[in-house]
Structure 1
Amino acid sequence: MSLPKISTKAALKLKPRKKKRQNTGLAPGSLIFTGQKKLEEAQVMLVEYSIDGEVTEQKAEGKIPDSDGQAMVKWYDVRGLHDVALVEQLGQQFGVHPLALEDILDTQQRPKFEDYENGLFLILKALSYDEETQRVQTEQVAIFAGDGFVLSFQENETDLFPGVRERIHSGRAKIRKRKADYLAYALADNIVDQYYLLLDRIDLILDDLEEEILSKANRDSKGKIHNLRLQTITLRKAIAPLRDAIGAFSRVDSPLMSEGTDVFVRDLYDHVVQVMENIDTVRDMMNGLYDLYLSEISFKMNSIMQVLTIISTIFIPLTFLAGIYGMNFQHMPELSWEYGYYYLWGLMIMISGALIYYFRRRNWL
């Protein structure tokens, strides 16, 4: 699959600009939305399930759906963080700490884990690759798991958890037999699984870029390498703090953590560590690609200089002969030869042929 051409200037334009924070100087716990409004109206989806009962889903826009109170786990899936009133209402209803609400609305928050008295709070980044802009897109996801409920917050309308939703509807899945802490783990695990798909896509791009550099290295190749380097930085900034967050999640001592869930969280920690190792591998491959690009450019330049040098070497004796017989002396014996012109041409051709033969014998051509 061929990559779109991205020049060096275009790659520089793809670098995301740093956003100015809007909540500086405010009191802790102040609810200020710092991101971009990505949908017209916030949406809330309530999923309720138990071990033997039926799974129910109800959707409402801009309000909190009512629950019948009979389900073992209630999952409130909130899409759209711009509605500060809705987030605050959910926080008051479920006793979410004001600092956690502040972090939910701050889309520039780094991945973290907090153990509150009435809930486990996790922030992580959902990552995807935009084929059109050749950029890694980030979306903040916040998960708050309490006693019998889970609140998940995301920026976009797109469903990030179709696999988890499908497992809930399947009566054979483990998720129906466990409590809210396992659902929180399942949501985080679903996000981390998407990292592998993203890294696979980047690996394919690196392979295509390597073939392009070996066949025809040019300025566009340098721009693509620079763009991938920026995307790798984005990946590392999004995933590196998550390693510590999941590590804290796996070691948390809370009554909200059911017996046996910690094993799955430790497995998730291993996945995050593996993803970080893959990112380091991608970074090393990118540095290798840049070195390959410089080597190919240098080799191409040396080849050009070699050809020009050989051409110059061939024409040096020819220029010498042409210079001698181009002088304006009256008494030059060769000027009176009847076939002198043809002799000179023959000599020039013999010299050129001899030099070319010599260069080939030395593998210079």
Structure 2
Amino acid sequence: MKSPSRSGKPRRQPSMRDRASARVQASVRKSLFLNDVKRTTKRETKKLKTFAEMTATYFATRHGDVPESAVPYCSYVEYDTNGAPGAMSKSSSESQTRSIIREVAAAKASETKVRWLHFEGINTPTLDMLCEEFKLAPPKIEGSETTQRLVMMRHRDPALRFFGTHAFLTMQLLDREDCEGDIPLVTDDQVSFIYVPEMRLIVSVTEDRDIESDFTNLQSLLVNGSSVCNKNGAHPAMLLALLADKFVDDAFPLAEELGDFLEVLSHAMVSREGIAYNQPVDKTRMQLWRMRRFSIRVKRLCETYEEDALNLFGDDAFQTYIEAVEKQSENLEHVCDMYITRCLAILERVEVYQNQKTNDTLFILTIITVMMVPSQFLTGMWGMNFVNMPELGLSWGYWLFLALIPTFMIGIFVLLKMGGYLEDTPMDIDPVHYVKKRIAEFKARGKKDAEGGAPASPE
């Protein structure tokens, strides 16, 4: 049954031909849209797609648990707190990783040695074996958090949990991912720490596997006895402070790289203004905001270390180092704030340019409208239907109308020109050239006054 329309007549149902025509029209509209996209350069299209995909992947992984790695990479470092050489071993397979865990668990703790077991990527079987070998599993209480669960969870803020025999801590480190032809994407990866004071053992777990990690340089320093952890019988927790300091220091070059990108954008805007700068500036501001959030999280972690309610980090050298890390995180926050302010300044310049273009367009349209007023007036006057209008009977009235229009338009243009309505400000010449010229005049005048000598003072 056909449904009635508003007019009361039965509504016509679309036929198969109409539906096919609608599909063809939709296909044409889609092809026109794709053609418009293809008019952009291939590099720009690929660049935006790559950055968008990487950003979408980043946000998709921020709200789930830490992904499990099939074969976690494991490295073990044993260093001396009095500067003696240490030892380091690495695994390239799951069997080697399990062997390292068993060997470290079977070895006895030494008063001058600190053991650091580092994992890049983790999975549940390896984590369960780790907790079993080092006896890190707390009593099972319904609804309570376990060490395994805390490692696999994603924490938005620094977390500290104490399980009697060991403590669990977490923080973030910044990672740089290259986008082809675009600014680098800043991501924050989670790092979990298990600190066992009695065993003088620290276990660190990063969520991604990256064999070319910067941890290798730090591990070499520890083995060679060249770090702050190898001096004056350093506290085992000093390694936690050293890692936090490393994560903050690694963030500064990335912030400076984004700052250099903003400087290049500023120079580009000086040579050629436009509204196309909005997108790269917004991307840069997003990365800087992410780095600023990282610095705030480091400050919270430092505050947690300084409070030390459970007296796990009761060492003066450790607390002094943590205070230095906190100051570094504040400096990173200030740097990010500075560059974010610069982003806002560039966006304001883009907005000013857009408003100026709009005002220039409106100004031109206004001048054209004013110059067309006489023609509109004559058209309206001679278009009236009065009986006594002598001009309507003239044989040359049409040619008079055509002659009056350009005459009035030229007259209005001359009046606007003489009145200064078409002139720009005096600084329209060249601000830099104008300022240099004025400075040169002031210098010449001062030199002339100096050569003439100071006026004699009255007696």
TM-score bracket, normalised by the shorter chain, equals: 0.7 to 0.9
Equivalent position amino acid for 2:205 in 1: F
Letter in 2 for 1:157: R
* Equivalent position of 1:242 in the other structure: 298
Map 1:295-306 to 2 at 5 A: 295-306=352-363
State the alpha-carbon separation in 2 of the partners of residues 243 and 346 from structure 1: 73
Question: What's the offset of the Cα at 1:354?
Answer: 1.1
Q: Residue in 2 aligned with 1:80?
A: 121
Contact 1:148 1:179 in 2 (8 A): no
Tell me which amino acid in the other structure corresponds to 2:118. Answer: D
- Matched ranges for 1:168-183 at <5 A: 168-177=222-231, 178-183=234-239
Match of 1:89 among 129, 154, 178: 129
- The structure 1 residue matched to 2:73, chosen from 43, 55, 62, is 43
2:150 to 97, 103, 111: 103
DSSP-derived class of the 2:369 partner: helix
Q: CA deviation at 1:319?
A: 6.2
Equivalent position amino acid for 2:229 in 1: I
Alpha carbons of structure 1 residues 86 and 257: separation in structure 2 relative to 1, 3 Å? farther
Deviation at 1:78, TM superposition (A): 0.5
**Which residue among 409, 414, 417 is the counterpart of 1:354?**
414
Matched, 1:222 2:278: yes
**8 Å contact kept, 2:86–2:223:** yes
The equivalent residue for 1:30 is: none
Quote how far apart the aligned CAs of 1:149 are. 2.0
Identity percentage over the alignment?
A: 14
TM-score by length of 1: 0.76
> Is the alpha carbon distance of 1:115 and 1:36 closer, same or farther for their aligned partners in structure 2, counting shifts above 3 Å?
closer
In the alignment, what sits opposite 1:124? 171
Give the TM-score normalised by structure 2: 0.62
Query: How big is the shift at 1:152?
Result: 1.0
CA distance in 1, matches of 2:155, 2:260: 29
Q: For 1:329, what is the secondary structure of its paired residue?
A: helix
Pick the aligned partner of 2:195 from 145, 159, 170: 145
* 2:89 paired with 1:58: yes
Distance 1:336 1:115 in 2: 99
Q: Structure 1, residues 95-114: CA drift from partner, whole Å, max 9, x if none? A: 44653332211134532234
Once the two structures are superposed, what CA deviation does each residue of 1:176-195 show, in whole Å capped at 9, x if it has no partner? 22242111211121111122
Return the offset for 1:118.
3.6
In the TM superposition, what whole-angstrom CA distance separates every residue of 1:134-173 from its partner, at most 9, and x where no partner exists? 5321211112233422211112222142442242244343
Pick from 363, 368, 371 the counterpart of residue 314 of structure 1: 371
Match of 1:269 in 2: 326
What displacement does 1:44 show? 0.8
Amino acid at match of 2:151: I
Q: Tell me: CA distance 1:312–1:14, structure 2 relative to 1, closer, same or farther (3 Å).
A: farther
Amino acid at match of 1:223: Q
Alignment check: 8 A CA contact 1:47 1:76 kept:
yes
Distance 1:291 1:96, change over 3 A: farther
- What pairs with 1:156-167 in structure 2 (closer than 5 Å)? 156-158=208-210, 159-167=213-221
Q: Check 1:322–1:315 CA distance in 2 against 1; reply closer, same or farther (3 A cut).
A: same
Change (3 A) 1:250 1:346: closer
Distance in 2, Cα, partners of 1:46 & 1:113: 24
Render the CA deviation track for 1:28-85: whole Å, top value 9, x for unaligned. Answer: xxxxxx2234x5411111112223543322112322413465771221110112x111
Preserved contact between residue 273 and residue 350 of structure 2 (Cα < 8 Å): no
Distance 1:246 1:216 in 2: 44
Aligned pair in 2 of structure 1 residues 166, 324: CA closer, same or farther (>3 Å)? Answer: farther
Distance 1:335 1:92, change over 3 A: closer
Relative distance call for 1:41 and 1:11 in structure 2 (3 A) is: closer
Distance 1:270 1:78 in 2: 29
Task: Pick closer, same or farther for the CA change 1:75–1:20 going to 2, 3 Å.
Answer: closer
In the alignment, which of 389, 392, 407 is matched to residue 329 of structure 1? Answer: 392
Code of the aligned partner of 1:44: C
1:211/1:324 CA distance change after superposition, 3 Å = farther
The answer for the alignment partner of 1:27 in structure 2 is: none
In structure 1, the residue matched to 2:434 is none
Q: Which protein has the larger Cα radius of gyration, Structure 1 or Structure 2?
A: 2
Instruction: Give aligned pairs, total.
Output: 345
Asked if the contact 1:11/1:226 (under 8 Å) is kept, the reply is: no
Task: Report the AA paired with residue 300 of structure 1.
Answer: K
Could you tell me whether the CA contact under 8 Å between 1:164 and 1:186 is conserved in 2?
Answer: no
The answer as to whether partners of 1:111 and 1:238 remain within 8 angstroms in 2 is no
Would you say the 8 A contact 1:110–1:238 is kept in 2? no
